[in-house]
A = this chain, B = another copy of it.
Amino acid sequence: MNNFSFYNPTKIHFGAGQIQTLKDEIPADAKILIVYGGGSIKKNGIFDQVTDALEGKTFLEFGGIEPNPHYETCLKAVELIKTENIDFLLAVGGGSVIDATKFIAAAAQYDGNPWEIIETFGSAVKGALPIGCVLTLAATGSEMNPTSVVTRAETQDKLFFNSDHVRPLFSVLDPKTTYSLPAKQVANGVVDSYVHVLEQYITYPVNAKVQDRFSESLLSTILEEGPKALKEPENYDVRANLMWSATQALNGLLSTGVPGDWATHLIGQVLTGFYGLDHGQTLAIVMPAVWTYKVEQKKQKLVQYGQRVLNIQETDQDLIAHQAIEKTRTFFEEMGIATRLSDYNLDETIIAGVIEKLEAYQFVQLGEHADITPTDVAEILKLAL
């Protein structure tokens, strides 16, 4: 096991009806900005639950956060915050809304060009407005971590930053808020959380038994419950199991003391930046290709995954690894997420542009061995055609 530090002070209130905890979690004298997305929360009753819980408190609202939230939109929220002297941000939505809120919270207290927050991967952040969340989509884990991903529409840059200053103080996770999601968003969330686990698990063994088994716990649960969420959207336990899985998948617990890959995410983010593909779609495309390209390096963990999670009964290690890759692809496709670039009308002509962008970001040593160069990414993308 590798050395590590772990820290996660975000408080979680989980379960039906927990939106009412906003009453106590947000200070009485706070001036709150409710940040949200396309407005579904106004149709499905969640906004009303939130405002009921905020009764007697002062709040304004800022809607219109996009999926893959735009830097430009976030800056408009920052303006509003400064004009209105907002001192508490309440994100009500999925990962995009929470990520945007994190950027807004940091930018509102940042002197200088706010893009520096991204350029420094967050190290420039020295403070942020306090954040609370009401999560409405099991997917990114943003509700319990210090990470945010924003997209600069103008330049098609989709990039992340990390800062302890933007960790949510608390997050409310009510599985019922996910009942009315469109199937595509459910599926994307399932793929996203599943891939989060895999990025921290399909690397190489370091005899970290707790972390490996925790990863397998989440993979098995998401594998069982993901398809059920599409078939039985109002099955509370299914939604609850998926929601808690997605949060645990990226709250820092799985990555303790083990190597991480993340090549799939970094390549996928470029695809979203350029072509607007959903985050989950890019992961479903790239991960099987990364694994196929790196099958020798990843074989031990692919076999462990194949045996413990996918219940593959073969004995030949190569065969198990191969089947593990294909079964993972099949799972994504069963969730309704296509796994080939061609499924999205993209072909080999995109490769040069993706590589150029990765080089511009200096993402030129990807993967758990830091040995995936732009040339390798080209090969990986060919495997994903």
| A contact set with B: CB distance below 8 Å | 1-9, 11-18, 21, 207-211, 213-214, 216-218, 220-221, 224-225, 237, 240-241, 244-245, 248, 253, 256-257
Contacts and interface: CB of A to CB of B under 8 A. Distances in A.
19 contacts: A1-B15, A3-B15, A4-B14, A5-B12, A6-B11, A6-B12, A14-B257, A15-B257, A209-B217, A209-B221, A209-B225, A210-B218, A210-B244, A213-B213, A213-B216, A213-B217, A213-B220, A216-B217, A217-B217
Given A1-B15, A15-B1, A257-B15, A241 B210 contact: yes
Contacts of A211: 244
A4 B4 CA distance: 28
A208 B216 CA distance: 15
A200 to B, nearest CB: 15
B1 A244 contact: yes
A208 B225 CA distance: 12
Nearest to A10: B7
Total copies of this chain within the assembly? 2
B241 A256 contact: no
Given A210-B241, A210-B244, A213-B221, A4 B15 contact: yes
A46 to B, nearest CB: 17
Contacts of A11: 5-7
A245 B210 CA distance: 6
B224 A14 contact: no
A256 to B, nearest CB: 7
Contacts of A16: 3
Contacts of A18: 3
Contacts of A225: 209
Nearest to A244: B210
Given A5-B12, A209-B221, A209-B245, 5 more contacts: A5-B21, A208-B240, A209-B217, A210-B218, A214-B217
Contact of A244 (B7, B221, B245, B257): B257
A214 B209 CA distance: 12
B5 A207 contact: no
A207 B15 contact: no
A16 B15 CA distance: 39
A332 to B, nearest CB: 20
A224 to B, nearest CB: 7
B241 A1 contact: yes
Nearest to A11: B7
Q: Can you list the 10 inter-chain pairs with the closest CB atoms, starting with the nearest?
A: A3-B15, A213-B217, A9-B9, A7-B11, A207-B237, A6-B12, A209-B221, A1-B240, A209-B241, A210-B244
A121 to B, nearest CB: 21
A134 to B, nearest CB: 15
